[in-house]
Amino acid sequence: MAQEGRNIIDEQVVVGEEKGSVRLATLNRPRQLNVISSEVVLKLAEYLETWEKDDKTKLILIKGAGRAFSAGGDLKMFYDGRESRDSCLEVVYRMYWLCYHIHTYKKTQVSLVNGISMGGGASLMVPMKFSVVTEKTVFATPEASIGFHTDCGFSYIHSRLPGHLGEFLALTGARLNGKELVAIGMATHFVPSAKLADLEERLVGLDSGEMDVVRSTVEEFSEKVDLDKDSILNKQTIIDECFSKESVKQIIQAFEAEGSKEGNEWITPVIKGLKRSSPTGLKITLRSIREGRKQTLSECLKKEFRITVNILRSTISPDVYEGIRALTIDKDNSPKWSPATLDEVAEEKINLVFEPLEDDIELHIPETEENRWGGKYET
């Protein structure tokens, strides 16, 4: 009987548990690093809607099973749908709709992030009222490198980071550890992984969703953050100087010039990565982050949804499918980009990716409390 019960849990992509007044959602695809499939989005949205409406629910916890919190979107799902127009439209719509609700959630949420948290997976971490990271946490937004763009609300999040760190993270896919995430405000607390289970147990036993109570509880387990001397965050002056340039080409030229100076050897591998990335993906990403500085959360999500649909439609380039092929299907790490160079990616083409979609496909963000949980793309 116990074996049978365990099998049922093994098959659930998101496990929802009620523990007193606390609700716990566990992303449960450990072998796939908890990547976000259509079923994951659907279940998570169902849980969060139910729990926000439930008067007995005071606190929400979210974590990942295994060694990842979430490695982001299910790339194979996108690749498998490449021949069919808009095959992934529903899951993409639901995901953006879910991102909005996570950012604006009415109850206190805590994400317990002990491992990989990348791309769309990190959209389940950063907007939470409290996001707890450990020495095992690894964050990145590497989408541009495979011909995609920094999505799921990250044109809003990255554009609000200090200086031009947002452009740097979005274009290079650079990784940050738990301490660095706390230092720049993308996580709220650093807790050693050895203490995480005890923290979870304490939170479950709190019977409170009061912000101050939750904060003081987490702080009992958290440690002060001191950056390593070679942290990328200590290179902010160089990053701001280079990544404030107007175009991707100018950014790379400025960055190369800095890389030729003594003591800046860390730049060389970053430049190599930039030059291997999709030129189209880099240009779209830079523009989206820059626009994000002047946009609200809703505007960023609507814009990112348009970009995502147009990229998946191969409106100006099939790069995203070539990037996924090279990274996860054939694993040859030798993508053939089209166009192949930055100079060949015309600005008029980039404009097309930002154009509005058909009226019945545009992302509709809830505008009133009455329809807050309506419009889940059910029709």
Annotation marks residue 73 as catalytic: yes
**pLDDT tens digit at each of 379 positions of the chain:** 344 444 545 579 999 999 999 999 999 999 999 999 999 999 999 999 999 999 999 999 999 999 999 999 999 999 999 999 999 999 999 999 999 999 999 999 999 999 999 999 999 999 999 999 999 999 999 999 999 999 999 999 999 999 999 999 999 999 999 999 999 999 999 999 999 999 999 999 999 999 999 999 999 999 999 999 999 999 999 999 999 999 999 999 999 999 999 999 999 999 999 999 999 999 999 999 999 999 999 999 999 999 999 999 999 999 999 999 999 999 999 999 999 999 999 999 999 999 999 988 999 888 788 888 887 655 5
Tokens representing residue 154 in the block: 């990250």
Tokens representing residue 24 in the block: 């716990």
Contact partners, residue 250, CB within 8 Å, separation at least 6 = none
- Alpha helices by DSSP H, listed for the chain, are 2-11, 38-53, 75-80, 89-103, 154-158, 165-172, 178-183, 196-204, 211-221, 236-243, 248-259, 267-276, 279-292, 297-312, 319-324, 347-353
What's the distance, CA 154 to chain centroid? 6
pLDDT tens digits along 63-117: 999 999 999 999 999 999 999 999 999 999 999 999 999 999 999 999 999 999 9
Q: Are 146 and 323 in contact (CB under 8 A)?
A: yes
pLDDT tens digits along 2-47: 444 445 455 799 999 999 999 999 999 999 999 999 999 999 999 9
Q: Can you give the three-state secondary structure of 197-223, one letter per residue?
A: HHHHHHHHCCCCCCHHHHHHHHHHHCC
Of 74, 115, 119, 143, which is the active-site residue?
Answer: 143
Of 64, 115, 119, 120, which is the active-site residue?
Answer: 120
**What's residue 6's pLDDT?**
46
Of 64, 72, 73, 153, which is the active-site residue?
Answer: 73
Of 151, 180, 200, 304, which is the active-site residue?
Answer: 151
Annotation marks residue 120 as catalytic: yes
Q: Are 49 and 68 in contact (CB under 8 A)?
A: no
Nearest to 27 by CA among 40, 9, 10, 45: 40
Token pair 């304490």 in the structure block, residue: 202
Annotation marks residue 64 as catalytic: no
Annotation marks residue 292 as catalytic: no
Residues 176 and 191: their CA atoms lie apart, in Å, by 16
